[in-house]
């Protein structure tokens, strides 16, 4: 649904010549997921799930559960702080004006902990194991940490994706209302020019001339239809050396420490070269556009059918803290509109590996005094 206000509506309002194409691929993706939901709804005898009343009225916390969730959250915040301090993933590193920190190989596997922690707190609140105040406090702290890291990187897209995923998960689990998410998106649009100015200033401090960015209205950079529409000039599917299915397994499930010689992923850079640019920058047709150009309409349908089935299974009556955490990971890596497919799919598999480590930390603390998970 996030593509409708940022791609379909502006494409129609501003009479983008590629509006039929943009609207078409968004309709195929959305329709595929919606069809799965309709079919599953017809097979269900009862609603999937709903927030339990005691989750809204719980005054105290399950000590074991709270301790486990807190440790994962502290780990996530520590990773965010170290990432910001060492320039992890910064724009300067991306274009070669800054050096990569030796801590990056250690921080990368732990980056998904932010979303894992959010999932733990959402489930804990929903089941009455944590108070609403406690859950909101930690979730907001993580969201702020993600935003500050994005500003320090001078790359806003990761922070926007994190905030969207966290907000969407809160709405889905019932901690906040849908109108809150809509209001947050509107506020984000209003403050975007200010954020863009801050980003450009940080890039200047990193030795990058941001003059090109000042030549564009900040609002123009919210026109996702322009990015997606340019895919229409190619005949999908195409092969430009993007990660294959084998690469997805290799990069997604095998830690770099065990495979140090593999080359870095660079689909965005390859797309930029295809669009007439260089390897020093990147380009994206957004999640739906990337899936279409690499896998065609068949791949677009298959992707959103599989993801819809996965989300439906995670968001079920038998949900536990593990499923709740993986649900947030799925929203972040598989459904965020700015995801660079197929790297986003690889990122999801890497996040699942990270989840295993986070779960050990959570479970060891939770089980210390016989708390049930």
Per-residue pLDDT, averaged over 86-108, amounts to: 65
Q: Is the pLDDT of residue 371 over 70?
A: no
The pLDDT of residue 170: 93
Mean per-residue pLDDT, 94-102: 58
The pLDDT mean for the chain works out to 82
Flag whether pLDDT at 258 surpasses 60: yes
- Lowest-confidence range among 14-23, 74-83, 162-171, 219-228? 219-228
Highest mean pLDDT among 144-153, 191-200, 340-349: 340-349
pLDDT of residue 43: 80
Which residues 6+ apart lie within 8 Å of 122 measured at CB? 135, 139, 169, 170, 173, 175, 324, 328
Q: Identify which has the larger pLDDT, 9 or 259.
A: 9
198 contacts 151 by C-beta, under 8 angstroms: yes
The residue-averaged pLDDT of 296-322 equals 92
Q: What is the pLDDT of residues 4-49, one digit of tens each?
A: 888 898 889 888 899 999 999 999 999 999 999 899 888 875 445 4
Taking CA atoms, 139 is separated from 226, 282, 333, in Å, by 33, 31, 18
Lowest mean pLDDT among 39-53, 118-132, 160-174: 39-53
Q: How far apart are CA 24 and CA 58, in angstroms?
A: 46
Provide the pLDDT for residue 54: 45
Tokens of 262: 């593999």
Instruction: Identify the pLDDT of residue 56.
Output: 44
Residue 141's pLDDT band, with cuts at 50, 70 and 90, is: very high
- The whole-angstrom separation of Cα 150 and Cα 245 is 30
Nearest to 93 by CA among 229, 208, 238: 208
């Amino acid at each position: 649904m996030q593509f409708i206000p940022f791609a379909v509506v502006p494409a129609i309002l501003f009479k983008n010549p590629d509006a039929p194409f943009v609207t078409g691929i968004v309709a195929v993706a959305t329709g595929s997921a919606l069809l799965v939901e309709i079919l599953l709804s017809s097979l269900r005898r009862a609603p999937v799930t709903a927030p339990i009343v005691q989750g809204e009225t719980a005054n105290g916390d399950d000590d074991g559960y709270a301790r486990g969730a807190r440790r994962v959250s502290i780990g996530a915040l520590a990773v965010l702080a170290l990432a910001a301090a060492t320039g992890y993933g910064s724009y300067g590193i991306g274009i070669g004006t800054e050096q990569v920190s030796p801590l990056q190989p250690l921080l990368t596997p732990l980056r998904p902990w932010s979303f894992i922690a959010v999932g733990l707190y959402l489930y804990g609140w929903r089941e009455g194991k944590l108070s609403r105040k406690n859950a909101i406090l930690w979730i907001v702290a993580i969201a702020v940490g993600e935003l500050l890291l994005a500003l320090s990187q001078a790359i806003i897209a990761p922070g926007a994706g994190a905030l969207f995923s966290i907000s969407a998960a809160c709405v889905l689990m019932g901690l906040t209302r849908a109108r809150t998410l809509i209001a947050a998106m509107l506020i984000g649009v209003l403050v975007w020019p200010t954020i863009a100015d801050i980003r450009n200033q940080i890039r200047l401090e990193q030795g990058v001339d941001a003059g090109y960015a000042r030549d564009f209205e900040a609002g123009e950079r919210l026109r996702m239809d322009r990015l997606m529409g340019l895919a229409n000039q190619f005949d999908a599917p195409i092969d430009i050396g993007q990660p294959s299915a084998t690469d997805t397994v290799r990069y997604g499930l095998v830690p770099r420490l065990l495979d140090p010689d593999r080359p870095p992923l660079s689909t965005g850079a390859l797309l930029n070269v295809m669009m007439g640019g260089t390897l020093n920058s990147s380009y994206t047709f957004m999640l739906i556009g990337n899936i279409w150009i690499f896998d065609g309409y068949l791949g677009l349908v298959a992707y959103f059918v599989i993801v819809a089935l996965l989300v439906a299974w995670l968001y079920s009556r038998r949900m536990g803290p593990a499923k709740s955490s993986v649900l947030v990971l799925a929203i972040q890596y598989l459904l965020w509109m700015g995801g660079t497919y197929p790297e986003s799919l690889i990122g999801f598999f890497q996040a699942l590996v990270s989840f295993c480590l986070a779960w050990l930390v959570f479970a060891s603390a939770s089980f210390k005094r016989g708390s049930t998970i």
